[in-house]
Amino acid sequence: MRRPDYEKLGVLYLGRELDPHKPDLGPELLYDSRDLTTHAVCIGMTGSGKTGLCISMLEEAALDGVPAIVIDPKGDLGNLLLTFPELRAADFEPWVDAGEAARKGQSVPEFAAATAETWRKGLADWGQDGERIRRLRAAADFTIYTPGSEAGRPLSMLRSFAAPDAAVIADATALKERIGGSVAGLLGLLGIEADPIRSREHILLSSILDAAWRKGESPDLARLIGQVQKPPFDKVGVFDVETFFPARERTELALSINGLLAAPGFDAWLEGDALDMQCLLFTADGKPRISIVSIAHLNDAERMFVVTLVANELVAWMRRQSGTTSLRAIFYMDEIAGYFPPVAMPPSKPPMLTLMKQARAFGIGVVLATQNPVDLDYKGLGNAGTWFIGRLQTERDQQRVIDGLLGTEAAKGLDRAGLSTMMGNLTQRAFLMRNVHDDAPTLFRTRWAMSYLRGPLTLAEIRTLEAPLGETKPTTTATAAKAAAASEPVSAASGMARTATATRPIVQAGVNERFRDAHGGGRPAYRAHVGAHVRAHFVNARSGLDAWETRYYLAAADEAGPDWSRAQVFEDSAIHLREAPEDGASFDEIPGALLAPRAYKGWSAALADHVYRNSALQVFRCPALKLIAAPGGTEVEFRVLLAQELRERRDAAVDELRGRYAKKLAIIEDRQRRAAQKLERERTQAQSETASSILTVGGSVLGALFGGRRGGALAKASTAARRIGRVSKERADVGHAEADARSLGEQEAAIEAELEAEIAALGKQFDPATIGIETVTVRPRKSDLGVEDIALVWSA
């Protein structure tokens, strides 16, 4: 059976085209998902259908395997979880409005049954059914996060200010944006309006984060409070810390931050899933996720903080991705007013501007919606390639939107008068779409949403939705797990009695001595270990792998020396060593074996042998696509990479296929045009011959009836007979022309069916679920192993 047009690969079924002068709707409006990488703006008053349109867009993206981050200030985007494939009244009953049922004189069960029937009919009118809802639920994971509350999935916003990756650290502009956004959000929670250039609070906190992140550290609030009181640097600019920000005033800032930690219920901000974009966009097995971050229950400062951190995290994640022309993910925010204003620069605006300007290259589509067009920065929205404009409240609102639209690239070919006319006639669920990729604007009516649009959800209702899931989802990525492991204290060798002393032991010359940064704060109690950097070379020609990796091995030691089999292994960037101990540190007794310089050479050789025999690099490889994962990456990350690669190849293959068939269809269309012209000529000739024949036969009959020469009557009768013969021939020619036209139409239908079949086959060919992955284990090359800087390491 031929699939509906809206089920084509890479298109979003948004509705049907609308002609305001005709009662019937036109063809389906199929929006190319790749057009969304140039971003979209949706504007419409309450009741215009704006939320329904955007929810439908997210549904379509989910069906196509595209994940999304959804910021929900009103609480109604959780409706995406209200999908009922069976469309039973019992499914709707817990969610219908009892007050509305009473106003209609119905019981709740009766109203639920009527609602279910309305939804069933609405879906059918738009060519949809429960089976499509079932596919939607299977295509993606839908999760509601409630930062600051345990009603939905908790989202840890303040457990730590996680250090960005090396790429962000190396990019001065990116690092400045990330630090500025994090600090501005935190100060906003404290009620401090901070100018990044003039505010001492902003500058001090930014300097603390900059120092920590450059060391690869992720300070939590407790550590941040300690460093506000005692900064890890002596100067800020050219001034010493005390002159720039006296200790008494720094204590006041520290007390304010501590007030956040001490506030009742603030634990909810520290618990839950980590603010990790990879986990928000994909499940543990790589399934796309629609993460709805609900902030309706928060106050204005808390909302700003959440939006800022989420947007900053998305920017950081974006910069780690490769470029693409296919849609990789969506960032959608409803009711953007206040977060993207025309003049002010709230903390949320800089990362959003970065997304609007740069996200296209990485395949991230930004969709911003509002019912208040006056409070938008239209200059910032100049990068939006698609505008969806619904019914607006006032003429002033319409003119404001027209002013903004006419100042963008999407305004090419538009004029104010035409826009005013089209916008003035919009009704509910009718939108004017201006897509920069299309030649002209399009009026359309939105399709029926598969999700039940019941309106904003309360925290209690969100708790009901999330409770049945019962799924334990990861709170950290592999990187965070490694960082967590790195923060664990190293245990002393078993069986060794140690005595702490404030006196630093004296070691012989020739023994390198290092001190590991303490993580718990306070005065560290050092214990003796042996540590070294190990550089290993992993090569596998068949997989195309050639990678160098450096790890740091840290082992507790006794009189027999270090036991490398029990050593802790760190990412090289996760270990931070210093040349001198921290102030006030105490030291355990040191085993005598660690005092002899010549012993370290043997331990170095033993470490190299241990690494060669026991370490291996496991990488994931996809033979079908001839791709190999980056060393150290997880299978989930590799599957996400493969899904994006398959989407790009699918889009390219569909484009190539449509181009190839376009030539065939163009030939058929040319033949149809000529066949239609021929048919018209034959019909005209047949009509002409028929009329001439009627006149000739009529004259012959009249001549025979009313006299005249016999010979003349016979001649006229003969002419009439020939005319009748020509009429028969012309009618036959018409029949042949009609048959030719039908044949060409059948050929066109057959080619289109063949095209759709091949496109459907491409969907299966490029289905991420069917792609095979194998694990390749590679051992280090012995000749390239290098042990460097082996040392006595004092670690707390």
**Does residue 131 have a pLDDT over 80?**
yes
DSSP assignment string, 206-254: HHHHHHHHHTT----HHHHHHHHHS-SSSEETTEEHHHHS-HHHHHHHH
Q: Side-chain half-sphere of 733: how many Cα atoms within 13 Å?
A: 17
Lowest mean pLDDT among 202-206, 343-347, 409-413, 423-427: 409-413
Task: Write down the pLDDT at residue 552.
Answer: 94
* Secondary structure (3-state) at 273: strand
**Does residue 6 have a pLDDT over 80?**
no
**Does residue 269 have a pLDDT over 90?**
no
Which residues 6+ apart lie within 8 Å of 581 measured at CB? 504, 515, 524, 526, 587, 794
Angle at 60 between CA 284 and CA 305, to 5 degrees: 60
Please classify residue 581 by burial: count the beta carbons closer than 10 Å to its beta carbon, then call 0-12 exposed, 13-18 middle and 19+ buried: middle
Top-confidence range, 134-143, 249-258, 336-345, 486-495? 134-143
Average pLDDT of span 311-325: 90
**Does residue 581 have a pLDDT over 60?**
yes
Task: Give the Cα separation of 490 and 497 in Å (integer).
Answer: 16
Task: Write down the pLDDT at residue 170.
Answer: 83
* β-pair type (525-540, 513-516): unpaired
What are the backbone angles phi and psi of residue 526, rounded to the nearest 5°?
-85, 145
Alpha-helical runs (H) found in 104-199: 108-125, 130-139, 166-170, 172-189
Task: Write down the pLDDT at residue 495.
Answer: 36
Instruction: Grade residue 730 by pLDDT with cuts at 50, 70 and 90.
Output: low
Instruction: Grade residue 126 by pLDDT with cuts at 50, 70 and 90.
Output: very high
DSSP assignment string, 59-122: HHHHHTT--EEEEESSS-GGGGG---TT--HHHHGGGS-HHHHHHTT--HHHHHHHHHHHHHHH
Task: Give the Cα separation of 144 and 456 in Å (integer).
Answer: 13
Which residues 6+ apart lie within 8 Å of 673 measured at CB? none
Task: Write down the pLDDT at residue 130.
Answer: 95
183-to-71, 193, 200, 309, 776 alpha-carbon distances in Å: 20, 11, 12, 10, 43
Alpha-helical runs (H) found in 435-505: 459-466, 478-486
**Does residue 17 have a pLDDT over 80?**
yes
Cβ atoms 686, 733 nearer than 8 A: yes
Average pLDDT of span 622-634: 83
Per-residue 3-state assignment (H helix, E strand, C coil) for 349-418: HHHHHHHHHHHHHHCEEEEEEECCHHHCCCCHHHHCCEEEECCCCCHHHHHHHHHHHHCCHHHCCCCHHH
Task: Give the Cα separation of 642 and 315 in Å (integer).
Answer: 21
Amino acid at 88: R
* β-pair type (235-236, 239-240): antiparallel
**Does residue 42 have a pLDDT over 60?**
yes
Instruction: Grade residue 480 by pLDDT with cuts at 50, 70 and 90.
Output: very low
Task: Give the Cα separation of 269 and 260 in Å (integer).
Answer: 10
Top-confidence range, 320-329, 395-404, 628-637? 320-329
Average pLDDT of span 235-248: 92
Higher pLDDT: 679 or 596? It is: 596
* Residue carrying structure tokens 């959804």: 70
613-to-546, 561, 593, 609, 789 alpha-carbon distances in Å: 19, 19, 25, 6, 21
Amino acid at 717: A
In the structure encoding, which two tokens stand for residue 413, read together? 């070919």
* Secondary structure (3-state) at 136: helix
In the structure encoding, which two tokens stand for residue 185, read together? 């959000």
Instruction: Grade residue 364 by pLDDT with cuts at 50, 70 and 90.
Output: very high
Instruction: Grade residue 357 by pLDDT with cuts at 50, 70 and 90.
Output: very high
Taking only the tens place, the pLDDT of each residue in 295-312 is 999 999 899 999 999 998
Average pLDDT of span 235-260: 91
Higher pLDDT: 493 or 232? It is: 232
Lowest mean pLDDT among 256-260, 498-502, 516-520, 646-650: 498-502
Instruction: Grade residue 686 by pLDDT with cuts at 50, 70 and 90.
Output: low
Average pLDDT of span 769-790: 89
In the structure encoding, which two tokens stand for residue 613, read together? 């025999």
Lowest mean pLDDT among 94-98, 108-112, 539-543, 612-616: 539-543
**Does residue 23 have a pLDDT over 50?**
yes
Task: Give the Cα separation of 124 and 516 in Å (integer).
Answer: 67
Among residues 634, 607, 482, which one has the least CA distance to residue 535? 607
Average pLDDT of span 693-698: 55
Average pLDDT of span 251-272: 86
The four Cα atoms 63, 64, 68, 72 give a dihedral, to 10 degrees, of -40
Average pLDDT of span 643-659: 86
Amino acid at 605: A
Average pLDDT of span 431-449: 93
Average pLDDT of span 624-648: 84
**Does residue 708 have a pLDDT over 60?**
no
**Does residue 653 have a pLDDT over 90?**
no
* Residue carrying structure tokens 């006041």: 252
**Does residue 694 have a pLDDT over 80?**
no
Residues in the chain, total: 796
136-to-3, 121, 662 alpha-carbon distances in Å: 16, 19, 31
Q: Which residues on neighbouring strands pair with residue 568, listed in sequence order? A: 554
Lowest mean pLDDT among 38-47, 156-165, 306-315, 659-668: 156-165
Task: Write down the pLDDT at residue 478.
Answer: 37
In the structure encoding, which two tokens stand for residue 58, read together? 């997210």
**Does residue 511 have a pLDDT over 70?**
yes
Top-confidence range, 267-281, 714-728, 760-774? 267-281
Per-residue 3-state assignment (H helix, E strand, C coil) for 500-564: CECCCCCCCCCCCEEEECCCCCCCCEEEEEEEEEEEEEEEECCCCEEEEEEEEEEEEEECCEECH
Task: Write down the pLDDT at residue 692.
Answer: 60
Average pLDDT of span 258-268: 83
Instruction: Grade residue 494 by pLDDT with cuts at 50, 70 and 90.
Output: very low
Instruction: Grade residue 169 by pLDDT with cuts at 50, 70 and 90.
Output: confident
Which residues 6+ apart lie within 8 Å of 415 measured at CB? none
Instruction: Grade residue 489 by pLDDT with cuts at 50, 70 and 90.
Output: very low
Lowest mean pLDDT among 367-381, 493-507, 533-547: 493-507
In the structure encoding, which two tokens stand for residue 678, read together? 């021929």
Task: Write down the pLDDT at residue 481.
Answer: 39
Task: Write down the pLDDT at residue 490.
Answer: 38
Top-confidence range, 200-209, 216-225, 724-733? 200-209
Q: What is the mean pLDDT of the chain?
A: 84
User: What percent of the chain shows pLDDT beyond 70?
Assistant: 87
Q: State which H helix or E strand residue 792 sits in.
A: strand 786-795
Instruction: Grade residue 533 by pLDDT with cuts at 50, 70 and 90.
Output: very high
Task: Give the Cα separation of 90 and 108 in Å (integer).
Answer: 10
pTM for the full predicted model: 0.74
* Secondary structure (3-state) at 676: helix
**Does residue 663 have a pLDDT over 90?**
no
Q: Side-chain half-sphere of 81: how many Cα atoms within 13 Å?
A: 28
Amino acid at 470: G
**Does residue 382 have a pLDDT over 90?**
no
Task: Give the Cα separation of 12 and 606 in Å (integer).
Answer: 60
